[in-house]
Amino acid sequence: MRLLVATGNPDKLREIRSLLGHLAVELLTLRDFQPVPEPEETGATFQDNARLKALYYDGAVAQPAAAVQCGPVVYTVAEDSGLAVDALGGDPGIHSARFLRPDATYPERFAELHRRLSSAPRPWSARFVCAVALVHAGRVLDETIGTIEGEIAPEPRGSRGFGYDPIFYYPPYGRTLAEVPEVDKMRVAHRGHAFRQLARQLEGSATNSELRTEHRT
């Protein structure tokens, strides 16, 4: 079995490899195939966008490649994730990667979030969300979702992690996710929860090609 991990984000890819690397599957990335345009993320939820991306890359990349190479089937997994802040009505949410503007730096995004939160009482409760969709031949085979609850820190702290990690304070650790080693982050983080669920689904199949075929939400 070959599994296309359909993300162009190297930090996410590193984390996903660490979560799925123990499986008896060949992990592929978009760099292993001819480039295709990115799909427009038009979904209203993280789940919508994960499903949209998985179906798109399955049709545009995985199935054409499998047909040409006549090798083992290629399954496609895609994720959509982001930060939801309660005092901001769930923003930036599905727009996390494009918050403020597509080319904004994360320090700029942190400053804007703090500006918008300045009049709201603390703690500023928030969560990271990661939705995952597994697709083959135009069919959604499995969907998982992982979350981690925390707070927005009053200032960025830490140099580990990426994205919004420096301002995401996790109370049980007493630190932001950018202040902890990656192994500790992945033990509790949204992407860790979502992809461990997917890994258990793959491991629980009688064979790697005998995946459940119902659409699970």
Q: How many CB atoms lie within 10 A of CB 13?
A: 17
Residue 166 phi, psi dihedral angles, 5° rounding:
-65, -20
CA–CA separation, 174 vs 81, rounded Å? 23
Mark whether 184 is an active-site residue: no
Instruction: Outline where DSSP puts E strands in the chain.
Output: 2-5, 26-29, 74-85, 125-136, 139-152, 168-170, 175-176
Whole-number Cα distances in Å, 165 to 27, 38, 116, 146: 26, 25, 18, 16
Residue 129 phi, psi dihedral angles, 5° rounding:
-125, 140
Residue 152 phi, psi dihedral angles, 5° rounding:
-85, 120
Q: Which of 11, 32, 58, 80 is catalytic?
A: 80
Q: At 133, list the tokens.
A: 């969709």
Q: Which DSSP letter does residue 61 get?
A: I
136, 211 contact by CB (below 8 A)? yes
* Cross-strand bridge partners of residue 140: 135
Residue 65 phi, psi dihedral angles, 5° rounding:
-65, -40
Q: At 122, list the tokens.
A: 């603390």
Catalytic residues: 80
